[in-house]
Amino acid sequence: MPRGQKSKLRSREKRRQARAETQGLEVAEATGAAAAAGKPPSSENLPAAGARSTSEAPEGATGATASGSGTNSAENINSPKAESTSSPKGTDSSLNEILNKKVVLLVQFLLQKYQKKEPIRKADMMKHVIKQYKSHFNEILKRASDHMELAFGVDLKEVDPTRHCYTLVNKLDLAYDSALNEDEHMPKTGILMIVLGVIFMRGNCAPEEAIWEVLNMMGVYAERKHFIYGDPKKVLTEDLVQLKYLEYRQVANSDPPRYEFLWGPRAHAEASKMKVLEFLANMHDTVPSAFPTWYAEALRDEEERAQARAVARAHTAALASARSRATAGSSSQAK
Nearest to 66 by CA among 128, 108, 10: 108
Same domain flag for 141 and 198: no
Could you tell me if 270 and 172 are in contact, meaning their C-beta atoms sit under 8 angstroms apart? Answer: yes
pLDDT for position 217:
84
Q: In terms of domains, do 201 and 259 share one?
A: yes
Please say which residue of 117, 139, 170 terminates a domain.
Answer: 170
195 and 254 in a single domain? The answer is: yes
By residue count, the chain amounts to 335
Mean pLDDT across 198-207: 94
Instruction: Answer yes or no: do 166 and 192 share one domain.
Output: no
**Residue 170 confidence (pLDDT):** 77
Q: Are residues 162 and 228 in the same domain?
A: no
In whole angstroms, what is the distance from residue 197 CA to residue 234 CA?
A: 19
How many whole angstroms separate alpha carbon 188 and alpha carbon 210?
Answer: 20
* pLDDT for 62: 32
Work out the angle at residue 172's Cα, subtended by the Cα atoms of residues 189 and 217, and round it to the nearest 5 degrees.
Answer: 35
CATH number of the structural domain spanning residue 120: 1.10.10.1200
**Residues 111-129: tens digit of each pLDDT:** 888 878 888 999 999 999 9
Q: What is the pTM of this model?
A: 0.60
Determine the structural domain holding residue 129 and report its residue range. 99-170
pLDDT (tens digit, 9 = 90+) per residue, 80-114? 444 443 434 456 778 888 888 899 899 888 888 88
pLDDT-derived band of residue 294, with 50, 70 and 90 as boundaries? very high
| CA 72/CA 24 separation, integer angstroms | 8
161 and 201 in a single domain? The answer is: no
Check residue 117 and give its pLDDT.
83
pLDDT > 90 in the chain, percent: 29
Spatial distance between the Cα atoms of 227 and 30, rounded to a whole number of angstroms? 8
pLDDT for position 302: 92
Q: What distance in Å separates the CA atoms of residue 2 and residue 5, rounded to the nearest whole number?
A: 5
Query: What pLDDT, on a 0 to 100 scale, did the predictor assign at position 81?
Result: 40
Task: Give residue 97's pLDDT.
Answer: 87
Residue 213 lies in a domain: yes
Kindly report the CATH number assigned to the domain that includes residue 249.
1.10.10.1210
Q: Are 233 and 222 in contact (CB under 8 A)?
A: yes
Q: What band does 219 get if pLDDT is binned at 50, 70 and 90?
A: confident
Q: Is residue 63 part of a domain?
A: no
- Which string of b and e fits 128-152 if b means at least 16 CB within 10 Å? ebbeebeeebeebbebbbbbbbbbb
User: pLDDT at position 154, please?
Assistant: 80
Question: Residues 6 or more apart from 137 whose CB is under 8 A from it?
Answer: 122, 125, 126, 130
The reply to whether 40 falls in a domain is no
The whole-number pLDDT of residue 308 equals 86
Task: Give the DSSP letter of residue 229.
Answer: T
- Whole-number pLDDT of residue 104: 87
Any domain includes 118:
yes
- pLDDT band at residue 12, thresholds of 50, 70 and 90? low
Q: Which residues contact 209 (CB under 8 A, 6 or more apart)?
A: 258
Residue 161 forms part of a structural domain: yes
pLDDT of amino acid 185:
46
Sheet hosting strand 246-250, strand order edge to edge: 206-207, 259-263, 246-250
Same domain, 157 and 228: no
- Residue 124 counted as domain residue: yes
Query: Do both 125 and 161 map to the same domain?
Result: yes
The string of pLDDT tens digits covering residues 30-87 is: 333 333 333 332 323 222 222 333 333 333 333 332 333 333 333 333 444 444 434 3
On whether the CB atoms of residues 261 and 206 are closer than 8 A, the answer is: yes
Whole-number percent of the chain with pLDDT over 70: 66
Whether residues 205 and 253 fall in one domain? yes
Contacts of 24 (CB under 8 A, 6+ apart): 66, 67, 68, 72, 100, 101, 104
Identify which of 5, 131, 140 has the alpha carbon closest to the alpha carbon of residue 79.
Answer: 131
On whether the CB atoms of residues 288 and 278 are closer than 8 A, the answer is yes
Give the total number of structural domains in the chain: 2
204 and 162 within one domain:
no
Q: Do residues 198 and 206 make contact, with C-beta atoms less than 8 angstroms apart?
A: yes
Residue 232 lies in a domain: yes
pLDDT tens readout for residues 138-177: 999 998 888 888 777 788 889 898 889 998 887 765 554 4
Compute the distance between CA of residue 84 and CA of residue 318 in angstroms, rounded to an integer.
69
247 in the same domain as 200: yes
What amino acid occupies position 205?
Answer: C
Residue 17 lies in a domain: no
